[in-house]
Amino acid sequence: MSHVTTGRLKQANKKIELFQWNMCLSLLFKFVPQAETMKTISHTDKEFVCDITLPCFSALTPDETDMVRGSRVQVVFRQSENLAKQGAFASYVIFVVSGYSRQYIEGSNGRDYNLRIIRPGEMVGLSAVFNRNTFNYSVVAVTETTGFLIEKEAIASLVKQNGTFAFSIIRRYCEHNSRLYTSLDNILHQQTNGRMATVLLTLSPENFGGEDLFRHLSRRELADFAGISTEGAVKVLKSFEKDGLIKLSDKSIILHDRQRLEEISRTG
């Protein structure tokens, strides 16, 4: 068999694999009860990102970049749509290109605990690459979110063969763990007012490029960030407004006195 024929067979097999990958994604989300379902982006759509020029992938060789490009699907998740579901089988890693999403743990008592807001440039599902085949948390889009769904085997291969890429992944893992430890410390040692002050400061538009995430979060979701009841969160917010620390405007929250909020956050 000639090299030309072999090359054409490899290209055909790659197209078949990509088609099967798209079909799996379609079946995965077909029965999700959403008002609007996620949208798979093709190369003819204006939202299509043709090259992986994002910082996380800057250390890849041309061959490695081609491997990732051939193992990815670009998807747009609508607001409130699940990117990952706790306990569900994880066959991919999501690299977030744009938009913000909420990572949380689903409690057995029906209560959730919000871990953090996932930003552009971060990955969802890295744990599935290294130590388990299911998601150990859920992720839902807070704003419309665009991401690359990359086969986890491709990420595992890159980690094994590219030391610089592996180092960046390990560094991200350590940064995430550090944030989780800080969040746990706040829950264990802060009082209700201190927790809510910390949440307001953390979610303020200054930390998210001017994006007002408060408009997209319910009072219950704010309470789940602080680890308190919804009633407790509403009570604290009204108290903060009465003291002139914040202004409640519909779902939006405007911080009027960051210095006093920072003091409450520090003293707990």
Following DSSP, what letter does each residue of 40-67 receive, concatenated? EEPTTSTT---S--SGGGTT--HHHHHH
Are residue 41 and residue 165 in the same domain, yes or no?
A: yes
pLDDT band, residue 58 (cuts 50/70/90):
confident
Q: Do 41 and 126 lie in a common domain?
A: yes
- Indicate if the pLDDT at residue 250 is higher than 60: yes
Residue 129's nearest CA partner among 155, 158, 98 is: 155
The residue among 176 and 43 whose pLDDT is bigger is: 176
23-40 pLDDT, tens digit per residue, is: 444 444 443 444 446 566
Of 164 and 132, the one with more pLDDT: 164
Q: Is the pLDDT of residue 6 over 70?
A: no
Alpha-carbon distances of 209 from 56, 107, 256, rounded to whole Å: 20, 31, 18
Which pLDDT score, from 0 to 100, does residue 86 have? 93
Do 103 and 9 fall into the same domain? no
Instruction: Name the domain count of the chain.
Output: 3
Q: Of 183, 218, 244, which residue constitutes the final position of a domain? A: 183
Residues 19 and 128 in one domain: no
Instruction: Supply the CATH number for residue 212's domain.
Output: 1.10.10.10
- Percent of the chain, pLDDT > 90? 45
Classify burial at 19, counting beta carbons within 10 Å of its beta carbon; exposed 0-12, middle 13-18, buried 19 or more.
Answer: exposed
- Same domain for 139 and 69: yes
Mean pLDDT in residue range 206-212: 92
Residues 201 and 222 in one domain: yes
Q: Quick one: 148 and 249 in the same domain?
A: no
Backbone phi, psi, residue 73, to 5°: -135, 130
Residues 100 and 211 in one domain: no
* Domain coverage including residue 122: 34-183
* Average pLDDT of the chain to the nearest whole number: 82
171 and 252 co-located in one domain: no
CATH number where 43 lies: 2.60.120.10
pLDDT of the residue at 21:
47
Question: Which range is least confidently modeled, 4-8, 161-165, 259-263?
Answer: 4-8
Average pLDDT over residues 37-65: 64
